[in-house]
Structure 1
């Protein structure tokens, strides 16, 4: 994974997404919720843009939560569409039992979503699994009981050795890394944070056992980056050996039967799917 990208809105720019996917196989983008609120349009338009998420949207009664739900789902859907070089309406988002999102019919990519306050983050990879998490950089975690609930004996030792000035920043970093890793595994908060840890060495992060001993294997990669004004983003990516898939367009990643279903054109002679978004840069 490389740099963290700002998604200014539905119109992009999206060049950086394709560059990062081509270079590293994964991309993490951040955006503010106001930039992704729908502008005008009818209820029918919003229903079309949300797809199967419309049913959940209808159950939300609090206006602020509704706004956050709409913005985050449109952001996730548009990011997947840009990666697949198709229209957002053709991206079929679904959810695993634990709430983890995925793109139906496109198991060559994996996606993850996180949001807090006005900030949203989407991760996408073609290498295997990805999880992302975002928190306020100044969120108070040190000396709040979070260390007991989330830190291994090794991590507590390292926190004490690092001094009081860096303690909260380190806790925020550890917390977002653990959230991102558990999301990538599809476990969320069901995976006890005291059962795994991280060794932090400058900008690098390594997965370790509760006693600090290394976990064998090098398939996991972890990064933490600042985002926007006052936020911290962590991402966890597992390379499951999918290989170098350079073409992620829907015509490549979907099997013919699924493509027929999504495009609404059964049988042979269907029109070719669009190769780029309207106004794609």
Structure 2
């Protein structure tokens, strides 16, 4: 993995195939990197899909955070107030990361610098959704935007685009749905790099947020939220975790 220029922060987003049935090779690799508590938690999932997503999410995070020669099983995690995991040791593995999953795919984003914030979200484009939920949860500007998107597939895709952006932001700041989705609005939604506007002053900060809409694989839509630390520029890379494991 090449090093970045001093004033550049690179966020690397990895995506892995997740089986909806019996565990496949990706799951088996990832499970070998888990600690005992993670295996026990995995065994509590009744549905293979959920178990596989949990195993891959934690396993790929361990493998990627340990890319600098740290054994995956040597990494220890803790969780923030609202459930976001973070690395507590070793120090060399303390990088911001976030995991998201949907049926068939797991995504993990990792930032370079410990003072950065990162959040990711992923959805299937064919997921059953009710765009009418926007009237209940989204901000007024976003609701008005959706009204311009017609009906059917186009409106559903626009809804998922906004939904993944919103999820990526609240996951990056670590509050989850404790932050109402109507307290901030996305603008330039059709862009690959939408902008955010804080409608609740409590969300204002000095951080310079950047967002990316991504399509890691056909049939999926995702979003990445990054608030870089002291980096002057930001770069985003997408990588296949399947290819990494198979090499």
- The correspondence for 2:26, drawn from 28, 32, 36, is 36
1:73 matched to which residue of 2? Answer: 58
Counterpart position of 2:195: 206
Q: Which runs of 5+ in 2 are unaligned?
A: 19-23, 234-244
Of 101, 109, 112 in structure 2, the residue corresponding to residue 115 of structure 1 is 101
8 A contact 2:172–2:225 mirrored in 1: yes
**Do the aligned partners of residues 65 and 218 (structure 1) sit closer, same or farther apart at CA in structure 2, a change above 3 Å counting?**
closer
Unpaired runs of at least 5, structure 1:
1-14, 40-44, 245-278
- Note the C-alpha offset of 1:19: 6.0
Report deviation, 1:233.
1.2
Higher mean C-alpha deviation, range 170-179 or range 134-143? 134-143
Matched ranges for 1:56-205 at <5 A: 56-82=41-67, 84-105=68-89, 106=91, 108-127=94-113, 128-143=116-131, 145-164=132-151, 166-199=154-187, 200-205=189-194
State the shift of 1:217 in Å. Answer: 5.4
CA-based RMSD of the aligned residues comes to 3.2
Aligned residues: 220
Task: Give the whole-Å Cα distance in 1 for the aligned partners of 2:57 and 2:96.
Answer: 16
Change (3 A) 1:24 1:35: farther
CA 1:218/1:129 → structure 2, altered by over 3 Å: closer, same or farther? closer
Change over 3 Å in CA distance of 1:192–1:35 after alignment to 2? farther
Deviations 1:52-99 (A, max 9, x none): 4234234444444333322221112111112x3322122223322322
C-alpha spacing 1:132/1:113, structure 2 compared with 1 (3 Å): same
Q: Larger relative CO (CA 8 A, sep 6+): 1 or 2?
A: 2
Measured after TM superposition, the shift of residue 219 of structure 1 is: 1.1
Q: Deviations over 1:253-278 (max 9, x none)?
A: xxxxxxxxxxxxxxxxxxxxxxxxxx
Q: CA–CA distance in 2 between the matches of 1:103 and 1:173?
A: 29
d(CA) in 2 for partners of 1:181, 1:132: 8
Whether 1:50 aligns to 2:40 is no
Structure number with bigger Rg: 1
- Contact 2:9 2:228 (C-alpha < 8 Å) held by counterparts: no
- TM-score, scaled relative to structure 2: 0.76
CA distance in 2, matches of 1:174, 1:20: 31
TM-score normalised per structure 1:
0.67
Measured at CA, do residues 210 and 62 of structure 1 come closer, stay the same or move farther in structure 2, by a change above 3 Å? same
SS state of the match for residue 49, structure 1? coil
